[in-house]
Amino acid sequence: MAGPATPPLAPSARGVRNVVFVEGVRTPFGKAGDKGIYAGTRADDLVVNAIRELLRRHPGLPAERVDEVAIAATTQIGDQGLTIGRTAALLAGLPKSVPGFAIDRMCAGAMTAVTTTASGIGFGAYDIAIAGGVEHMGRHPMGEGVDPNPRIIADKLVDPTALVMGQTAENLHDRFPEITKERTDAYAARSQERYAEAVKTGKIGPELVPVATRSPELGWGLATEDEPPRPGTTVEQLAKLKTPFRPHGRITAGNAAGLNDGATAALLADEDTARELGLPVAMRLVGYAFAGVEPEVMGIGPVPATEKLFKRTGLSVDDIGLFEINEAFAVQVLAFLDHFGISQDDPRVNQWGGAIACGHPLASSGVRLMTQLARQFAERPDVRYGMTTMCIGIGMGGTVIWENPAFEGAK
């Protein structure tokens, strides 16, 4: 007997739509700790500042048209807890009809907030969404309050070093001995140099949201620039730094991102809705992928994530004209570049420097990568595709490919 016929799609069902990145903003990134610029600033206030700035920059967007607010935090406790996407939306002045949620994928939190809401836009569940992340590592060190199941180690599901990110980076050096400390120090010095040049020439700055700060000693202030950069850093200076994760190791404070505070936010939209509201289209989403790897070498995660995405999209590394790779550790970036046959001096890679210079407030960093790529697209009509990619704690990687709407084709 024949089964019942499949009912037709509801009249409101839609096909897949183009998802666009309208704009991203971020707070200046600070150093974590009592002496950092945000020592006296709440985590939720950081991301609220970013959301408000997005709305201020796009007055033609009716606030009630925002369908979702997704905010990531790795340590969802204290002023980074309480479903921060919803509370930040309320504090930012969005109508109470606008929902929100919190999300966690460690370092790729904001990246996942973007891909999750973008999927909803593509499916037709949303027209407009705000996605971002916040991390106040001074108030909430990574792992605060967590209670890992002892079976993770006792049953040998992962190597004990998997829970210490610096040790996973040392493990990556072990796996790829051709990536020497000299190479990572050279890469780190170049990141500092590229970042300093980008600030000097105004490439970095327009996306920053000033944040009021308060210090018991200094009183009120205004954060307008990143605190972590060390301009003028040399390979000779980096060679003298201690290796805290292993005696005579290779990971130092100079060839890794620091402990940082900061927030990001991005405006995403269906492309037709963006055109209707007069919103700019900075990037068009092509696809994304996440992949798991052995947690003890989590830094290799971007490689399988990118391979998976190339397979899905039919693109290859030769199609990518700009790369924004999160610099959690220099060794992790070099492992990615070596795998794909890209020189560590390639001008397509992190041309404005990266997290080794400006900082890596965990869950917020994915949108920083996207924001920089979007601004680079505007200057490069000769580039069609760009990539944002990052390693993720507990053994994962994430990659997103974007298309440049300003692409003019080969000249």
Each residue's pLDDT, cut to its tens digit, for the chain (411 residues) gives 555 566 665 555 567 899 999 999 999 999 999 999 999 999 999 999 999 999 999 999 999 999 999 999 999 999 999 999 999 999 999 999 999 999 999 999 999 999 999 999 999 999 999 999 999 999 999 888 889 899 988 898 999 999 899 999 999 999 999 999 999 999 999 999 999 999 999 999 999 999 999 888 888 999 999 999 999 999 999 999 999 999 999 999 999 999 999 999 999 999 999 999 999 999 999 999 999 999 999 999 999 999 999 999 999 999 999 999 999 999 999 999 999 999 999 999 999 999 999 999 999 999 999 999 999 999 999 999 999 999 999 999 999 999 999 999 754
d(CA 51, CA 183): 39
Cβ-based neighbours of 6, under 8 Å, separated by 6 or more: none
Residue 11: predicted pLDDT = 55
Place of tokens 């700060």: 213
d(CA 138, CA 155): 33
For 340, list phi and psi in degrees, rounded to 5: -95, 10
SS3 (DSSP) at 74:
coil
d(CA 236, CA 189): 10
> How many Cβ atoms are within 10 Å of 380's Cβ, its own excluded?
18
Residue 218: predicted pLDDT = 80
The candidate with the shortest Cα–Cα distance to 366, out of 333, 402, 325, 395, is 325
* H-helix or E-strand spanning residue 69: strand 68-72
Residue 5: predicted pLDDT = 62
* H-helix or E-strand spanning residue 357: helix 355-358
The residues spanned by each domain of the chain are: 19-141+257-401
d(CA 156, CA 254): 32
DSSP-assigned states of every residue in 191-234:
HHHHHHHHHHTTSSSTTB--EEEEETTTEEEEE-S-S---TT--
Residue 315: predicted pLDDT = 98
Residue 390: predicted pLDDT = 98
Q: Does domain 19-141+257-401 have CATH number 1.10.3470.10?
A: no
d(CA 383, CA 362): 29
CA-derived radius of gyration, the chain? 21
Please state whether beta strands 19-26 and 283-292 pair in parallel, antiparallel, or not at all (unpaired).
antiparallel
Residue 8: predicted pLDDT = 60
Give me the active site residues, please.
107, 360, 391
The candidate with the shortest Cα–Cα distance to 90, out of 47, 26, 59, 141, is 47
